[in-house]
Structure 1
């Protein structure tokens, strides 16, 4: 049986390819990657190490594209302009999505397109961006379907919603997938039971992806652990699900409560906790992350005979700064070794490139950051996948990657629509 040929653009370290190849294998379809593209040299190296295939670089410099059956692309979500008026759709010329369209126009039309992008693409520019993408696909003869899917519904312990766009050439496909953004947060997730007759899915949690005895390099510093112990009265299980962040309330621990910049009195802690909540009130302005407040504004919600002394102390310890007679918190979440402790019995928050290296866990009597392998497992990468040897680069790449399990589900549904009934797959003679 001829191989199904595919192209893997904006391939990163290869998450979309992994999911697609796993789907094809499930359907007993042989595949061949005839072209891959990725501009980042570090990602290129990881991709080549795992697939023995070096991606080409800047897609804007690519002019020839070999014939293929399926084109995969996790193109970046750039700022889309809607200055144009073509048939009521926004113009997105010059963006990387249109580089894909350019290659299709100048070369061969794949029989199917599978795109992945951030959830925000769905609502970007009040829906004009997705409408533009649909318009450009449909005018080239492709169907247009999209799904908002949460990794937590695909046997992965991560609350991660992404949009998947599928087009099949000259077809009206029927997909079994349905959009489901899943839980509002990582603490309220329960596995879906698809019907009254189906068995509930296994509740995959963070505990399922943890390593038993990871390298000590992932341990938090003794000084950090000590202040956490003091805060938790030596019951470190209280860290499960806790955020360490200085500009929000909720289930959060703040630097002044831990005394990271100097011990604070109960009155100073109370003042700071009220400050970060009240500064978000509309009466003080409309800035989303809170306003700078004067002493008089602070006194309106925190009456204390020694307010001047408390404020001066907090400025000295650098929990507050004074700017033009107004006070604001100094620290953000980047002031902590860990910004979020995962609950082993729940699912993780979304793994993102900027701070995947600062997700924490209390496990086997150790306070530590999650390992790169654990981050890879959250994304569905198999343990034999070779990660970048530099941990920070590995975290960054995994945060930018896709959830392999979700891609597999999307690819299976797409291939079944492309080829026909799955039972007929072995009868496939040629996709050419």
Structure 2
């Protein structure tokens, strides 16, 4: 019986991945401790595992003896979407709670899997990541790291995460190697055609594969929003929205509030001028501001030679698409109020699902624009359909955006079992019959792996 603990557990995505991998090899397992501070996530965890995790890890003094430690420690401090304060931020120091608990233990787990965002590896020019690895090595662990994209593991989502596989007294061997996958949905489709994608036994999947055939009307976009979309795509149909982002401060394959007439109908000239301002305000000779700078009339004239410019600008100001301050013009970005900020391409992968926007991902199905459902969001993370979601959609979307891609976790543990490379003498104590698809070599490795992990615990000193 392998015993494991689940720290920073969320809704139990890492646990689900581990259990699915162990079940494939008929390896008996038991979660002996779990911890999660978010009360709503605790509710979802309880629905699925019939146990409520302990709360704040900082209030936990010790862990029961266990073989495997799982921890998706908080990532906000390292995320590109966050402030990237790292260890200067309280949330960034929560890794050291893992270190504290390991130092306090009478025996250490033989295996750990830690997960975090990609930005964790580059924060503070890599010093934060190096600090964590050094701490793990000081605790006696060999560390193998993988940067993996969920889209390479049968999950139709562009989600790159760092995984640290840590083995006590030994650097674990993985046949899975780092691969960032396709950078976006367009490159994913190109790679599919060219056969250049990461090679796995799991077939690549697209958004169309996870869509529910029929959804509740509450997920269909509102009549007003559909009308605004119609104005933006005329004379094209709604299928032209596949892969389109709704955003005001970027160009590219985007629809803007002025295209939709969100604050009032715009003429074709006004739309083209707004597009030109959005595109040119980011050019370096106008300044180095992240999303562009305010432009003077003279600067706008340098790329816009159409007549009646001042009246066109005044009209856009009056409608609320531009703001004029100190004789400079700046777009008023209203994209945060859009019902959908990105329509997924059914024939490709999703953008990264995040907690703040998971409820505003959309799709056009049977010619109807709608938001994806919580179940579809769960499928984008690879959760099986029997996983129970929080009954409140708001919490369900948020929790799924914070979770892990379950099949990636399963693949990592499956790889460890099949390789069976552990430095400890095997103890053949698992008599369960493995699934029929296993060959004799995989069976032997699985038993060796279990025996090694479940051997008498290693002391901390």
**TM-score (ref. length: structure 2):** 0.87
Structure 1 position 431 matched with structure 2 position 438: no
1:186, CA displacement in angstroms?
1.3
Q: 1:113-150 CA distances to partner (integer Å, 9 max, x unpaired)?
A: 10000011111111111111111111111001100000
Q: How does 1:367-406 map to 2 (within 5 A)?
A: 367-406=369-408
- 1:26 aligns with 24
**In 1, Cα distance between the equivalents of 2:9 and 2:122?**
24
- 2:86 aligns with 80
**In 2, Cα distance between the equivalents of 1:280 and 1:208?**
37
**TM-score (ref. length: structure 1):** 0.92
- 2:238 aligns with 236
Query: Partner of 2:400: helix, strand, or coil?
Result: helix
1:282, CA displacement in angstroms?
0.9
The one of 35, 38, 45 equivalent to 2:36 is 38
Deviates more, 1:152-161 or 1:253-262: 253-262
Is the contact between residue 114 and residue 411 of structure 1 (CA under 8 Å) also seen in structure 2?
no
- 1:137 aligns with 136
**In 2, Cα distance between the equivalents of 1:193 and 1:301?**
42
Q: How does 1:111-190 map to 2 (within 5 A)?
A: 111-189=110-188, 190=191
Is the contact between residue 92 and residue 98 of structure 1 (CA under 8 Å) also seen in structure 2?
no
- 2:434 aligns with none
Contiguous gaps of at least 5 residues in structure 2: 78-84, 427-440, 457-461
- 2:51 aligns with 53
Deviates more, 1:13-22 or 1:71-80: 71-80
Deviates more, 1:318-327 or 1:152-161: 318-327
Is the contact between residue 340 and residue 362 of structure 2 (CA under 8 Å) also seen in structure 1?
yes
1:193, CA displacement in angstroms?
6.6
Is the contact between residue 155 and residue 204 of structure 2 (CA under 8 Å) also seen in structure 1?
no
Q: 1:372-401 CA distances to partner (integer Å, 9 max, x unpaired)?
A: 000000101111111111112111110110
**In 1, Cα distance between the equivalents of 2:218 and 2:299?**
45
- 2:2 aligns with 4
Q: 1:37-80 CA distances to partner (integer Å, 9 max, x unpaired)?
A: 11100001100111011111110111011110000000013333
Is the contact between residue 159 and residue 185 of structure 1 (CA under 8 Å) also seen in structure 2?
yes
Is the contact between residue 111 and residue 166 of structure 2 (CA under 8 Å) also seen in structure 1?
yes
Is the contact between residue 28 and residue 426 of structure 1 (CA under 8 Å) also seen in structure 2?
no
**In 1, Cα distance between the equivalents of 2:354 and 2:119?**
14
Compared CA separation, residues 200 and 405, structure 1 to 2 (3 A):
closer
**In 2, Cα distance between the equivalents of 1:292 and 1:348?**
33
Alpha-carbon RMSD across the aligned residues, in angstroms, is: 2.3
Is the contact between residue 264 and residue 319 of structure 2 (CA under 8 Å) also seen in structure 1?
yes
Query: Partner of 2:295: helix, strand, or coil?
Result: coil
Compared CA separation, residues 128 and 321, structure 1 to 2 (3 A):
same
Is the contact between residue 293 and residue 326 of structure 1 (CA under 8 Å) also seen in structure 2?
yes
1:298, CA displacement in angstroms?
1.4
- 1:348 aligns with 350
**In 2, Cα distance between the equivalents of 1:369 and 1:99?**
38
Q: 1:206-237 CA distances to partner (integer Å, 9 max, x unpaired)?
A: 01000011000000011211232333325111
The one of 387, 401, 410 equivalent to 2:412 is 410
Query: Partner of 1:203: helix, strand, or coil?
Result: coil
Q: How many pairs were matched up?
A: 421
